[in-house]
Amino acid sequence: MQINNIESFLEYYSKIKNRTRKLFDYVPPEHIEWTYQEGKFSIGDIIRHLATIERYMYAETVQYKPSLYNGCGTTYAKGYDEVIMFYNTLNKESMDIFSKLKIEDLNNKCKTPGGIDITIWKWLRAMVEHEVHHRGQLYLYLSILKVKTPPIFGLTSEEVILNSE
């Protein structure tokens, strides 16, 4: 899928972000820093990572600037409410930056932190894939904690089977 229009992309991306954001409502506040294994991202780390990578890597590089990503630890935000507010604040900053992209920008190349030149629309597409990847991690973490989460598109796998011929 090629991105030809920043407005339609941002509308689509907002829907992706909202599905991730909905999942935050199911995170037990006392488990915001829970992780399945020491040294791995906690739930809060994942949420902070989504915020910081979007704002400080993707939003910087599409402006032809170097990445400013510097991790996702509790120094950015600590505690459930602060983590969610941090995520929302950085997402708004990122969306403001992305909304200024012109069609010619989408077809220009920016430099990734790995030193690779990539077409900006492809870089934005990678950002969506990155978001979805970490949303999947959040679903898994919550499953391990035995938190019942809603199906992402309305039906569970079992309900789709029941409704199929």
Every domain of the chain and the residues it spans: 6-163
What is the token pair recorded at 18? 């909202």
In what helix (H) or strand (E) does residue 117 lie, and over which residues does it extend?
A: strand 117-119
What count of other Cβ atoms lies within 10 Å of the Cβ of residue 74? 15
Query: Average pLDDT for residues 20-27, to the nearest whole number?
Result: 97
Name the nearest CA neighbour of 84 among 25, 12, 16.
Answer: 25
pLDDT on residue 160: 85
Residue 110 belongs to what H/E stretch? Answer: strand 109-111
pLDDT computed for residue 91 by the predictor? 98
Longest dimension (CA), the chain: 53
Please count the residues of the chain: 165
Q: What is the pLDDT of residue 155?
A: 81
Q: Residue 97 above 90 pLDDT?
A: yes
Confidence of residue 100 (pLDDT cuts 50, 70, 90): very high
Of 27, 49, 23, 58, whose CA–CA distance to 136 is shortest? 23
> How wide is the angle at C-alpha 50 spanned by C-alphas 28 and 74, nearest 5°?
60
Q: Which tokens sit at 112?
A: 């990734």
Residues near 122 by Cβ (< 8 Å), separated by ≥ 6?
Answer: none
Q: What is the mean pLDDT of residues 141-154?
A: 91
Q: What is the pLDDT of residues 81-91, one digit of tens each?
A: 999 999 999 99
The average confidence (pLDDT) of the chain is: 95
Residue 59 neighbours by CB distance under 10 Å: 22
Assigned architecture for domain 6-163: Up-down Bundle (1.20)
